Structure 1
Amino acid sequence: MATQFQNAFSDNALKNLIILLVLARPMSQAERDTSVMLAGALFALPFILFSMFGGWLADRFSKQQVMERVKTAEIGIMFFAALAFLLHSLPLQLLAILCMGTHSALFGPSKYGILPEVLPFEKLSWGNGVLELLTFLGIILGTLAGGLFASWFKETPAVSGLVLAAIAIGGWMLSRSIPKVPPANPQCSFRVNPITDLWRQLMRMRGDRDLWRANLGNTGFFFIAALVQMNLVLFAHDVLKLSETGNASLNAALAIGIGVGSVLAGYASRGKIEYRLVPAGALVMFLSTIPMGLAAITTPAFSTALVALGLGAGLFIVPITAVLQSRPAPENKGAVQGAASVLSFVGILASTGVQRLLRLVLSSGEIFWVCGAVALLVGTYVAYSRRAEFTA
């Protein structure tokens, strides 16, 4: 779990740092919006291309071994990012985001797939709550670090890359302490075509109603999360007129809420998967976005709404993650996690285009209302599809 904390920290520090450096460049608003959208898309694209390969690695080899090897690659990626900062090259900086996205796409299936192998079922929701808490603590500190690096090392951004490389070395060391587990399916043949493999896993998931609904909910969650995060950067810069550090503090408020909501969901599950938390979390997300779109909202009020939005998101995602981990057969957990990652980042990639279109007709504040409405729709679907259980 400490390795995942470092992974979330480094992902968000690098991505937020590059976005803030983009915002500081002299360019038109259209060029700036395009660059921010491109940064999000480049981070999401590898999850679509390589998550199925990451799932195969998680099934074929020891998940601990996969995570250790991926962490080794991260060290090289961060040194490359330092070079991109030294050259002040935006294309190379965006390429570094693409490389980190690839790293995380390969890391994800093993990260989530190993939990059911080291925890008993009755502690799975609790374990996911703690994992999501550490993930979003990593997001908090990583986002803040990206803002601080952009401010502290504005003239020498390569220093930021060297600091992130040092942190990556720490992450590699942590990965070596992960419990060693045997390969779940050592005879698993290499799946050459990720498209046919994805289709096979989706058809397998459709045969399990709960697993399929969890997959849809997971995709919807990441669509909303990415849309909120992209819009938040622009709202903080254009409407609230915040500095790099102030911009990062809003992301921190959101992540604090998600972390607290995740822990609450873990404890509220009481040794089982509590589906009722999904529509409850969706309702909290919807209600919290209402004040966020108001023209006269102050920064403290907006920050409070962000914490509430994150709280609802934590309640929403923990039971969904537990379903994705517990329902597949042991020898197929990595492949299912890979397929879920592909679809979640299809949602993230879709959000970049949707955000671009919404900016043509809505203010950045009003886009938060769209996020809340999508959350309410997903929560309503879950409540309706399990209405017999909810009314019992």
Structure 2
Amino acid sequence: FNKGQFFWKWPKAWPYPISIFFGAPIYNPSNVGTVRNAVVDLGATAVATRSEKMTQLPREFIRRCKQRKRVKKAADSSGDEVTGGMMLTRTLVLRRLLNRHVYDADEQFVGLLLPPSLAGVMANMAVALDRKTAVNLNYTVSSEVLNSCIEQCGIKHVLTSRRFMSKMNFDLDAELIYLEDLKDKPTTGDKLVSALQAFAMPSRMLEKSLGLDKITSEDVLTVIFTSGSTGTPKGVMLTYGNVGSNVEAIDTVVHLGKQDTLIGILPLFHSFGYTVTMWGAMALDVASVYHFNPLDGKKIGKLCEQHKGTVLLSTPTFLRTFLRRATKEQFETLDVVVAGAEKLPTELCDAFEEKFGVRPVEGYGATETSPLASVNVPPSRSSGDWDVDWKEGTVGRPVPGVTAKVIDPDSEEERPIGEEGMLLIKGPNIMKGYIGRDDLTEKVVKDGWYVTGDIAKLDDDGFIQITGRLSRFSKIGGEMVPHIKIEEVINQVLGANEEDGLLAAVTAVPDPKKGERLIVIHKVIDQSPDEVREALQAEGLPNIFIPSSDSFHQVDVLPLLGTGKLDLSGIKQTALDQFGDA
């Protein structure tokens, strides 16, 4: 099955290679879920084996650009628009300039400080065509954090732009290379050779001349530093096989085609933006349009209308902005909306569908899973009535080639279907490891399984329901108390709406008597702490779930990460600063 069809398709290869895998026998299975999980596990092994032989992403980029040689491939909000042929030509010219004017002979890791834009994407493509490792740096953090990332990767040069850096105030321990300064550097030879390579040279010949045939699936394509929502950022090494398998899985699930235009608003330093909205657009036969500010709902709406966008990948926080700032007509062509990085509330789905006529679906993943681990199939891309492929309230099934299981956090024994436990993910999308931190890698990747830190359960159809995060539980009086559950009820009591987002967040600080103490960090609210507590009691929450009246602290805004989700580390620090010694 591919592109919505079982039959009447040209084979991708002739003769078509077929591999057969045999798993361990299943004796007397008690339910269909057991059989399904065994088949999915075997499928993950099969895909991991296949990914070693898959065509690597830079080669796919070349082939897709040549395929769309005279058709729009990408655009951005600056008004710049290029065909596939021009995209490849400009990328090849940039590659030549970087080799001649920037790189040292032994330079492998290249930093990038660029927003989602044609310049940002082309710079990443130029780095990839040179088989170097791109490190897109997070421009929403401090110079101290950035310099730590630079040091960990041994970065010598950071590609950026003067216009972008004029809005920043960084003091970095690496040489900044401004792309504007390279504009006058290309020679006639650079332009002519690059144009001939892009428009005339056969793909295989070009790939071989660039040495792309030497890339293996285990080579590191990028290092992405984790968002730090729950701790210090770590450098996640993602291989060509990791990201490539994720792009292939996305294409299989969403059935992207030449009729699609992907709206790219997620930062390239975030794995969702890097893998899906950049490589997904560059390695598949789709067009893309980029905008640097995901909170600029009005401009994004205009871009979607102008370029007839069909696919939007976002976070719930950004979707709320679109509800306020974009018009129904601007999103009229939208066909697929997928949200990740944080929980997607049903109320937000209802409001978005009512206004724009398309219902968002939820996906799930982590930087360490490249990032997509599971997703609900958008209704418009469903394969039909023969199988269930979307369940609201879940984060979908594991994407093709990926498998999941739930274990007891203490005993590590696998939990039966329907019971909660720690969620583990396995597949070709699991990271190579944390750069320079084998000790941390060994803690989270065990026998090929990535330990997500999320509490979840699986149903008979293989859908995953996330019920909490281990780090977002407090052990109070010997009982596990879920922050997310309390947070949801408090925001409901406070009258938080989907357009304005959360009014309060729940965290905890150490307590000498009970182990931990629940803390509520909130924006300006009408109710007093005692009124909130009474409302929580009326909602039926146990007393142990209800914060004390002296555990509320008001702030002007709740801290957010560049991805739009709560900065849990920042919220925790605010609570410690206010209540740590209480």
TM-score (norm 2): 0.19
Which one has the bigger strand percentage?
A: 2
Q: Which has the higher helix share?
A: 1
**Relative contact order: is structure 1 or structure 2 higher (C-alpha 8 Å, sep ≥ 6)?**
1
